[in-house]
Structure 1
């Protein structure tokens, strides 16, 4: 196994610290029998796998990062979840599912790509009547974002916040330690160092701009 993949495994284990908030959000939904879920921006699939396990349904994970998806597919094979998880390598801008395909659309950290308004406007077409859109987004301009909900015929079912303290304690601090450990051990692995630099840059940006280290989860229902 490459050092890069070893790093990604350990990074995903840190990311799993936040799965409790994925579970909290799912518990706020009404009970759905084997829902069909679209996970937009699934990456290496940490929340995707959690969604399959807690929903008992089927999840389609979409992302345009081929390297992350290859890593995700190996996890799916190892867990025997090929019958429940479908992986699609595609751009958020290009995705084109049939109308009313999904019971739930899940977006943890991906609405920034198209912007909050454009995302809820377009993605609503893919939801079944009275389906649910679950968004986890940075706290910046939260009130302005939520004012857009009624414009596109959604109702807010529930919401909750993740404070900077949560993010630093459960994710950024252990991730920064992991980055340092791997940099010290494998300083000549250029592919690994590139990814370590990207992750450290994200940590540094959140330290400079604390708003980036706080977020909210909102559950919307399509009217």
Structure 2
């Protein structure tokens, strides 16, 4: 079941994320960016997500790299935050953890107290996510077969104290030889003074010549 946030001036699409049903973190990245690209008039939110902190002898749930521990729960939810934050054209509008009032795995029953629930310690992931600086750590672009991609010389950084956006210089690692010789996807990385950045480059076929 999908849930929509209240309508604002920009229409919004709600996407669920439970790895056992909806795939890997990389699948979430792909789905969110595909939706945002296909429907450019919409913002996209992850309207329902959760991850268990116990059970299964601590082993990850299907399609997830994160163990069923308090730290694993925090890492899994933070990874969903990252996917929404990194959406193309800054189109991610938010993440809602489901469901904050009952049996779902973000909360647990307090022993000996009927109908009383408390958050797992990993709920601190919300407070930890209040970063001083938020880096645009993923860039999406495209190029044609045989051509080098145009990568930005700087990426954006938000300073949360005053909501200012500044540029952070970045020098990309060179592409491997032949990286754009055929259609596909190429990933380029580098480390800036504020953290790592990644460029995801779609290599597309050249347009056919028309007479």
Is TM > 0.5 for Structure 1 vs Structure 2? no
Higher relative contact order (CA 8 A, sep 6+): 1
* TM-score normalized with structure 1 length: 0.29
Instruction: Say which one has the larger Rg.
Output: 2
Higher strand share: 2
* TM-score normalized with structure 2 length: 0.30
Higher helix share: 1
